[in-house]
Amino acid sequence: PYPQVNPAWDSPEATTAIETTIEATRALRNLKAELNIPPGTRLQAAAVASRPEVADALTANALLIAELARLSDALGVSSTAPEGGKWVGKPITGAEILLEIGETVDLGKELERIEKELASITKEISRCEGKLGNPSFVERANPEVVALERQRLQDWREKQGQLEVRKTLFAKG
């Protein structure tokens, strides 16, 4: 019978990989928009992955991300930030996506953008901590919901740390 279901299509690993690909592409496109870089401008990009499964997903889909985000070449994936050039970044779950901007962006405006994003992340962290600090929520909610909220808190804290590092780099530049 048509359509036939392929069990590989329903794997959690495949779902996570495509979600990571979508998040990375969206981050690059949003960075261009936030920095007022025309969408068709092809720039170099890189990803600094903090989780091996994220690095694998980004590496496997580097050419797809490059095409969808209109990059000059395939997304480079590593565990350390690239050297040289002027890079701006946006944290995603398990990695930071970096875009080489050269002379196309005002560093002052980029620092303002980072400050706004940090304020937003701080609110999300407070919201998560408030939920998890409420004994009624922790006791009454499904264990899956509590675990999901703990994971969200961890992800927000990771993104906050990545932005703090980026802010420090821009403040020096």
Q: What's residue 154's pLDDT?
A: 94
Q: What's residue 37's pLDDT?
A: 84
Q: What's residue 10's pLDDT?
A: 78
Q: What's residue 149's pLDDT?
A: 94
22 Cβ partners below 8 Å, 6+ apart?
A: none
128 Cβ partners below 8 Å, 6+ apart?
A: 149, 152, 153, 156
Whether the model pTM is above 0.75: no
Q: For the segment 101-153, what is each residue's pLDDT rounded down to a tens digit?
A: 877 767 787 788 889 999 999 999 999 999 999 999 999 999 999 999 999 99
Give yes or no for residue 19 having a pLDDT over 70: yes
Give yes or no for residue 173 having a pLDDT over 60: no
Contact 37, 104 (CB under 8 A): yes
Q: What's residue 169's pLDDT?
A: 65
How would residue 172 be classed by pLDDT, with cut points 50, 70 and 90? low
Written as six digits, the tokens of 97 are 């996506």
Give the mean pLDDT of the chain: 88
